[in-house]
Amino acid sequence: LTFRHPVFHEPYNISKGSKKMFLVNTHSPKTGNTLGLPFQKESLLGMVSNPTEVFCSVPGRLSLLSSTSKYKVTVAEVQRRLSPPECLNASLLGGVLRRAKSKNGGRSLREKLDKIGLNLPAGRRKAANVTLLTSLVEGEAVHLARDFGYVCETEFPAKAIAEYLGRPHVERNEVNSRKNMLLAAKQICKEFTDLLTQDRSPLGNSRPAPILEPGIQGCLTHFSLITHGFGSPAICAAMTSLQNYLNEALKQVDKIGSKSTDKMDKHRK
């Protein structure tokens, strides 16, 4: 059983060059807030002329030197990084975009932003704590989430863990109660993951129409903006591993239960 967050099957254009790969979402913007920000505060930063325009291409931070990737960063993504909850300043944004440090680097970046309608005042303070995820652009964060999802799906030892953890319960003859607990846990996990798969946070050029109520979608969008698209898909991937474990554990319980039934039938005969 696999719970796939929408980001795992979003249509991305991937063009490969010499040791380069570009990830650009091909969805067109939806109506409403043109940049998919959680708050209607575009005026604080200025109005951009073309949110889907590529602002720059950024080398990946996590790739091996033999297979470096470059990710296109759109104007919409830059505005998301300048908006709540992160509110990056010129220094941090320059680091994210891998701009070389120079004496007038901050002013040069502000001038470039000003040309596309983004106002970044000098001396601005960041709003969110800096984490390793802060250094990632959305394309690389999504790439990381997809790779993590693949590893969780193909390499997580769900069966071995189910056998190991189930052994003591079999020895204590707790098959029925164990099965009820596993079924209940499976249902709770499904409810939780079903919610995450309905997340329609903005990412790249994608502006999917919301499914959830504004209150809960706003919370998920906040999480997505802090993790740049990595958060919910990564949790879905981890929950898939948990569900696979629960399924394997249920198979073990059913197998033991059927053996017990066969023994009882033979005894009656």
Contact 64, 48 (CB under 8 A): no
Q: Are 77 and 137 in contact (CB under 8 A)?
A: yes
Nearest to 24 by CA among 94, 72, 90: 72
Using a pLDDT cut of 90, give the percent of the chain over it: 53
pLDDT tier for residue 186 given thresholds of 50, 70 and 90: very high
| 39 located within any domain | no
User: Do 157 and 258 fall into the same domain?
Assistant: yes
Two tokens, residue 17: 């060059």
Q: Are residues 119 and 203 located together in one domain of the fold?
A: no
**Whether residue 112 sits in one domain with residue 196:** no
User: Is 50 exceeded by the pLDDT of residue 26?
Assistant: no
| Same-domain pairing of 125 and 149 | no
pTM of the model as a whole: 0.79
Q: Worst-scoring range by mean pLDDT, 68-72, 184-188, 235-239? A: 68-72
Answer whether residue 20 shows pLDDT above 60: no
Structure confidence at residue 47 (pLDDT): 64
Question: Model confidence over 51-68: pLDDT tens digits?
Answer: 899 999 999 999 887 777
Instruction: Say yes or no: 192 and 156 in one domain.
Output: yes
Count CB neighbours of 95 within 10 A. Answer: 14
- Burial (CB count <10 Å: 0-12, 13-18, 19+), residue 215: exposed
Q: Domain boundary residue among 87, 111, 129?
A: 129
204 closest CA partner among 55, 84, 52: 52
Instruction: Assess if residue 33 is contained within a domain.
Output: no
Number of domains into which the chain is organized? 2
Six token digits for residue 31: 């109506």
Pairing mode of beta strands 20-25, 70-74? unpaired
Domain-embedded: residue 16:
no
Domain holding 249, by residue range, is 138-264
Residues 149 and 252 in one domain: yes
Q: What pLDDT is recorded for position 206?
A: 83
- Residue 13 domain flag: no
Token reading at 83: 């908006």
- Tokens standing for residue 124: 């601005």
Whether 69 has a pLDDT exceeding 70, the answer reads yes
Tell which of 95, 129, 163 closes a domain.
Answer: 129
Query: To the nearest whole number, what is the mean pLDDT of the chain?
Result: 82
* Chosen domain end from 90, 112, 129: 129
Whether 236 is covered by a domain: the verdict is yes
Q: How confident is the model at residue 17 (pLDDT cuts 50, 70, 90)?
A: very low
Same domain? For 153 and 109 the reply is no
**Would you state the pLDDT for residue 207?**
84
**Structural Rg of the chain based on CA atoms:** 24
